Amino acid sequence: MSILIKNGRVVTASEDAIADVYIEGEKIAAIGKNLPMKAEREIDANGKFVFPGGIDPHVHLDMPFMGTFSSDSYETGTLAALHGGTTMVIDFILQTQGKPLRHALEAWQGRSNGNCFGDYSFHMAVTDFNDDTKKEIEEMVEKEGIVSFKTFMAYKGALMIDDRQMVGLMNEVKRCGGMVTVHATNGDLIDFLVAKHRSEGKLSPLYHYLSQPEITESEATGRFADLAYQTGAIGYVVHMTCEGALNHIRDAAKRNQKVYAETCIQYLLLDASLYEKDFDGAKWVMSPPLRQKKDQETLWAGINQGSVQVVATDHCPFKWEQKKMGEKDFSKIPNGHPAIEHRVELLFSEGVVKNRISLNKFVEVASTNAAKIFGMFPAKGTIAVGSDADIIILDPEVKHKLSAKTHHMNVDYSSYEGWEVTGKTKMTILRGKVAVEDGKVHIPKGYGKFIKRNKVKQHI
């Protein structure tokens, strides 16, 4: 199959030009003005943007968590992602404490194999680092192409590791050529505040927020950065929300250390006032919680400064019935919110259209940087000859409203109900195939491929 995309405004992290893009098979074969090739399909992209497919490196699909499973399967989640312009996701495997990493890998493969519409990879969450786990790290990197290892400094008793384990893991991951990523919040302090609020009968979603103040995140972020400095490991902080945490990343950069920072679209756009809506606030119960407007400003600034490199989603949806598990106790509300479908369009609308970030920066944080950091560039994350033909065509003139009635995620509410968005993904091409066009799906389930990743280099 060959495709010629004509006269679009082709934007990468570094280029911006009206050009044609010629696709042959799964790859981009030529880029230029007035390309002479004849293709089986010619697409007129005049007046539209042609971007690399979005990469969301932080999603949780079909994940067992807090007594239930996140409600998007690999099928519904990756398809919703394609509708909104995300061609690849990186999902999280959770090691069960006391069991090997391979055990978890096989369980996750069992749920994902053959079920994805979009391309995907895994981070391996190490929840129990010991002499046996240590032996498995190299195999994950060399054999499975899983080069990023997730750690939790919170969720004690299920996922959290202590600093001794963290240091041991950092040393081994560094030796094997991988990177350590982190959910950086102080689990002990959070547990103390949760218990305090519960004992005082303070049980509404607002107390989820009040149990995770900014200091719980800034302290853990600084500690993680210090441990990475001591061990020389490359670090990556997931779902960063606040000024205090970002200042630790800035301090790490001052000593020429590499600690990448990811924020999520919700932390740029939503704030903690949503927790004042009684139980409705459960829609936004996630960890870390939404913060203040001043934190949103800091995060946008961090993106433009280059100290925040990635905008992800932490997509971890639960249906309202599932959220109601915590109706009488905020600590039982499954943590997470749905966003996989809307990240690219929201970032374009709120970021580019509202002049907060440039077009090139938009591509960088929505796609290119994740590909570079996580060992997939230049196959993914750019429009270049030889790269995978993962491309979206976005019409900047179309305004539309987000709603649970029209979205494709398997969740019965929207965190952005009624939000007007400027710019719509008209077409998503994945490895040379038109995957979604004007809302119609053209690929079968199973087209999405597991992407083995390369060892981590300090690309950016």
Which residues of this chain interact with ligand URP, rule CB under 6 A?
60, 183, 286-287, 314, 316, 335-336
Q: Which does 286 bind (CB under 5 to 8 A by kind): ligand URP, Zn ion, none?
A: ligand URP
Q: How would DSSP label each residue in 165-180? A: HHHHHHHHHHHHT-EE
As measured in angstroms, the least distance from the Cβ of 267 to Zn ion is 12
First to last CA, the chain: 34
Q: Which does 8 bind (CB under 5 to 8 A by kind): Zn ion, ligand URP, none?
A: none
Q: Which of 75, 172, 262, 314 binds Zn ion (CB under 5 A)?
A: 314
Nearer to ligand URP, 176 or 286 (CB): 286
As measured in angstroms, the least distance from the Cβ of 91 to Zn ion is 10
Q: Which residue stretch of 15-23, 311-319, 351-359, 428-436 sits at the interface with Zn ion (rule: CB under 5 A)?
A: 311-319
Q: Which does 336 bind (CB under 5 to 8 A by kind): ligand URP, Zn ion, none?
A: ligand URP
Nearer to Zn ion, 51 or 152 (CB): 152
Nearer to ligand URP, 277 or 445 (CB): 277
CA angle 236, 242, 245 (to 5 degrees): 50
Burial (CB count within 10 angstroms: exposed 0-12, middle 13-18, buried 19+), residue 322 = buried
Q: Which of 83, 150, 183, 426 binds Zn ion (CB under 5 A)?
A: 183
Q: Which does 335 bind (CB under 5 to 8 A by kind): ligand URP, Zn ion, none?
A: ligand URP
Q: Which residue stretch of 75-83, 123-131, 175-183, 406-414 sits at the interface with Zn ion (rule: CB under 5 A)?
A: 175-183
Enclosing H/E stretch for 181: strand 179-183
Show contacts of 348-352: CB within 8 Å, 24+ apart: 348/394, 348/396, 348/422, 348/423, 349/421, 349/422, 349/423, 350/268, 350/269, 351/268, 351/300, 352/423
User: Pick from 389, 423, 363: which is nearest to 15 by CA?
Assistant: 363
* Residue in the shown chain whose Cβ atom is closest to ligand URP: 335
As measured in angstroms, the least distance from the Cβ of 91 to ligand URP is 11
Q: Helices 243-254 and 214-231 sit at what angle, rounded to 10 degrees? A: 20
The verdict on 323 binding Zn ion (CB under 5 A) reads no
**β-bridge mates for residue 9, sequence order:** 18, 49
Nearer to ligand URP, 186 or 382 (CB): 186
As measured in angstroms, the least distance from the Cβ of 335 to ligand URP is 3
> Cis (ω within 30 of 0) for the bond into 100?
no
Size of residue set near Zn ion by CB under 5 A: 2
As measured in angstroms, the least distance from the Cβ of 270 to ligand URP is 13
**β-bridge mates for residue 227, sequence order:** none
Q: How would DSSP label each residue in 288-302? A: SPP--HHHHHHHHHH
d(CA 220, CA 222): 5
Contact residues toward Zn ion (CB under 5 A) are 183, 314
